[in-house]
Amino acid sequence: MSDISLTDGTLTAVAIRPDIKRATPELWGVAWRNITRTKRRTWLTACGIAFAILMMTFVRSLQVGAFIGAVDNSARIMLGHIQLQHPVYEDDPAIENSIHGINDIIADVESRPGVEIVSARAQSFALTSSGERSFGAQIIGVQYEKEAVWSSLTRMQVDGRYIEGPGEAFIGSALARNLGITIGDELVILGTAVEGGVAALVADVVGTYTSGQPELDRAIVQVPLQDFQVAWTLAPDEAHTVIVIAESVADSEELAPQLGRAGLRSLNWRDLQPEMVQMMEMKLIGTYVLFILVAIIVIFSVVNSFMMIIFERTPEFGMLMAVGMRPHHIIIQLQIEALLVCILGIILGLGITAVGVGILSETGIALPAQAGELLKSMAMPERMYPVFSFGALFIAVPVMVLGTQLAALIPGLRLRHMHAVDALRSAE
Residues that bind another protein (CB under 8 A): 2, 40-41, 44-45, 47-48, 51-52, 55, 125-127, 131-137, 177-178, 180, 218-219, 274-275, 278, 281-282, 290, 293-294, 296-298, 300-305, 307-308, 311-312, 371, 373-374, 377
Closer to another protein by Cβ: residue 25 or 274: 274
Closer to another protein by Cβ: residue 201 or 246: 201
Closer to another protein by Cβ: residue 258 or 426: 426
If DSSP codes are grouped into helix, strand and coil, which group holds residue 157? coil
Between CA 122 and CA 103 the distance in angstroms is: 13
Q: Which residues pair with 175 in a beta bridge?
A: none
Between CA 225 and CA 239 the distance in angstroms is: 8
Closer to another protein by Cβ: residue 105 or 267: 267
What is the smallest separation between the CB atom of 373 and another protein, expressed in angstroms?
6
Dihedrals φ, ψ of 69, to 5°? -60, -45
In 3D space, the residue among 157, 63, 86 whose CA is nearest the CA of residue 71 turns out to be 63
- DSSP H helical segments within 323-380, as ranges? 327-363, 372-377
As a three-state string, the secondary structure of 97-110 is: CCECCHHHHHHHHH
Closer to another protein by Cβ: residue 28 or 51: 51
What is the smallest separation between the CB atom of 303 and another protein, expressed in angstroms?
5
154 CB neighbour count, 10 Å cutoff: 21
What is the smallest separation between the CB atom of 79 and another protein, expressed in angstroms?
15
User: Identity (one letter) of the amino acid at 81?
Assistant: H
Residue partners of 116: CB distance under 8 A and separation at least 6: 150, 245, 246, 247
In 3D space, the residue among 359, 301, 287 whose CA is nearest the CA of residue 54 turns out to be 287
Exposed / middle / buried, residue 428 (Cβ in 10 Å: 0-12, 13-18, 19+): exposed
